[in-house]
Amino acid sequence: MTLPLILAADHGGFELKEKLKAVLDRLGVTYRDAGTHSAEAVDYPDYARVVAQAVSRGEALRGLLVCGSGQGMAMAANRFRGVRAALPFDEQTARLSREHNDANVLALGGRVLDHDRAARILEVWLATPFAGGRHAGRVLKIDAP
């Protein structure tokens, strides 16, 4: 069964991840929380890998990753074929990451975004479809050998 969303965080993103789960619940989005489940220090690549592998294998349609800045999670996730992790900083860049780049993983920074802005970014990202058209060929080139 393919899940709509899988999410994970490291210790720097744990608090924001927990708050964003309430947003997902309110929106009725089914998800699996792949950890971490506390603020105890962990290594972000381990959690990025779980989410990126699930998206890459088609086990989840989209992923959500949260670390201190979002940058480490995005970098780690983008190592996996078929994963297009975006690190938007506002609603417009979230919309464009979906519309133009068909981003399938959203990376956010728990130490650089307040909850309200992160929630708005998540909502816009989830609601925005890929525009296709002229963007489709460009997206295909991302995974080209």
Average pLDDT over residues 129-138: 96
Segment 2-24, tens digit of pLDDT: 789 999 999 999 999 999 999 99
Task: Give me the pLDDT at residue 97, please.
Answer: 98
Q: Say yes or no to pLDDT of 1 above 70.
A: no
Task: Give me the pLDDT at residue 3, please.
Answer: 80
At residue 9, the 3 state secondary structure works out as strand
Segment 11-67, tens digit of pLDDT: 999 999 999 999 999 999 999 999 999 999 999 999 999 999 999 999 999 999 999
- What is 80-126 written as a DSSP string? STT--EE--SSHHHHHHHHHTT---EEEEETTTS-HHHHHHHHHHHH
Q: Say yes or no to pLDDT of 143 above 90.
A: no
How far apart are the C-alpha atoms of 23 and 75, rounded to whole Å?
25
Task: Give me the pLDDT at residue 16, please.
Answer: 98
- CATH number listed for the domain at residues 3-142: 3.40.1400.10
Percentage of the chain beyond pLDDT 70 is: 99
Regarding pTM above 0.75, the answer is yes
> Where does residue 89 rank: exposed (0-12), middle (13-18), buried (19+ CB within 10 A)?
middle
Task: Give me the pLDDT at residue 19, please.
Answer: 98
How far apart are the C-alpha atoms of 42 and 106, rounded to whole Å?
20
- What is 13-36 written as a DSSP string? THHHHHHHHHHHHHHT--EEE---
Task: Give me the pLDDT at residue 133, please.
Answer: 95
* Catalytic residue annotation: 67, 100
Task: Give me the pLDDT at residue 106, please.
Answer: 98
Query: For all residues of the chain together, what is the average pLDDT?
Result: 96
